[in-house]
Homo-oligomer: A and B are copies of this chain.
Amino acid sequence: MISLSERIRQDFETRILSGELAPDERLPTEQQLMAQYQCSRMTVHKALSALSHMGLVDRRKKAGSFVARPRVHSMVLDIPDLAAEVAQGGRRHDFRLLARQIRSSSPDWPGRTLCIDGLHLADGAPLALERREVSLKAVPEMRDADFTTQSPGSWLLAHVPWTEAETRISAAGATADEAAALGLSAHAPCLVVERRTWRQAAPVTHVRQVFPADNYELVGRFGPSGR
- A residues apposed to B, CB below 8 Å: 16-19, 22-23, 42, 56, 67, 70-81, 84, 157, 161-173, 187-192, 195, 198-200, 211, 213-214, 216-226
Contacts and interface: CB of A to CB of B under 8 A. Distances in A.
Nearest to A156: B70
B169 A169 contact: yes
B195 A73 contact: yes
A17 B162 contact: yes
26 contacts: A17-B163, A17-B199, A17-B200, A18-B200, A19-B161, A72-B84, A73-B78, A73-B80, A73-B167, A74-B76, A75-B167, A76-B77, A163-B223, A164-B223, A165-B223, A166-B219, A166-B221, A167-B221, A169-B218, A169-B219, A170-B216, A170-B217, A171-B189, A171-B213, A187-B187, A191-B191
Contact of A189 (B23, B75, B78, B173): B173
**Interface of chain A, main secondary structure:** strand
Given A170-B216, A171-B190, A187-B187, 7 more contacts: A17-B162, A71-B157, A164-B222, A165-B223, A170-B191, A171-B171, A173-B189
Nearest to A224: B164
Given A73-B79, A161-B16, A172 B200 contact: no
A7 to B, nearest CB: 18
Number of copies: 2
A18 B200 CA distance: 6
B161 A22 contact: yes
Contacts of A18: 199-200
B70 A78 contact: no
Given A164-B225, A171-B191, A200-B18, A76 B78 contact: no
